Amino acid sequence: MIVIHAVFPIEPEEMDTALELTEEMIEQSNREEGVIDYRAAKDVGDENVLRFFEQYEDAEAFESHATSDHLQAFSSAFMPLLSGEPHIERFAVDSASEVEI
């Protein structure tokens, strides 16, 4: 499994636009074959940051997403809304299980 954690600082006056774009991106990405889960959240500690959490079955599914038309369109519209450099981490995960609380 491939897991992506991406952090995007957004210009405060652009957050509404960023959220609209993100909502559409989430919808389209979750319909892709090989996507286990694709979601985003506003950072509780910094209201001008969006965090993306993505899970893919394998590297092939991730690559398919990375080259998709909807990601290219999203990036073109989304990247100009940033207030700084994004931070993106990719994890290769051998196994995952739920944790009971």
Per-position DSSP letters for 39-79, written without gaps between them: EEEE-SS-TTEEEEEEEESSHHHHHHHHT-HHHHHHHHHHG
Mean pLDDT in the chain? 97
On whether residue 38 sits in a domain, the answer given is: yes
On whether residue 10 sits in a domain, the answer given is: yes
On whether residue 66 sits in a domain, the answer given is: yes
Q: At what angle do helices 69-78 and 15-30 cross, to 10 degrees?
A: 170
pLDDT at 27: 97
pTM of the model: 0.92
37-83 residue pLDDT tens: 999 999 999 999 999 999 999 999 999 999 999 999 999 999 999 99
Count of structural domains, the chain? 1
| CATH assignment at residue 22 | 3.30.70.100
On whether residue 57 sits in a domain, the answer given is: yes
On whether residue 98 sits in a domain, the answer given is: no
Average pLDDT for 6-27: 98
On whether residue 73 sits in a domain, the answer given is: yes
Question: 32-41 burial string, b = 16+ CB within 10 Å, else e?
Answer: eebbeebebe
The C-alpha atoms of residue 71 and residue 76 are separated, in whole angstroms, by: 9
On whether residue 97 sits in a domain, the answer given is: no
pLDDT at 65: 96
pLDDT at 69: 95
On whether residue 26 sits in a domain, the answer given is: yes
Range of the domain at 69: 2-92
pLDDT at 47: 96
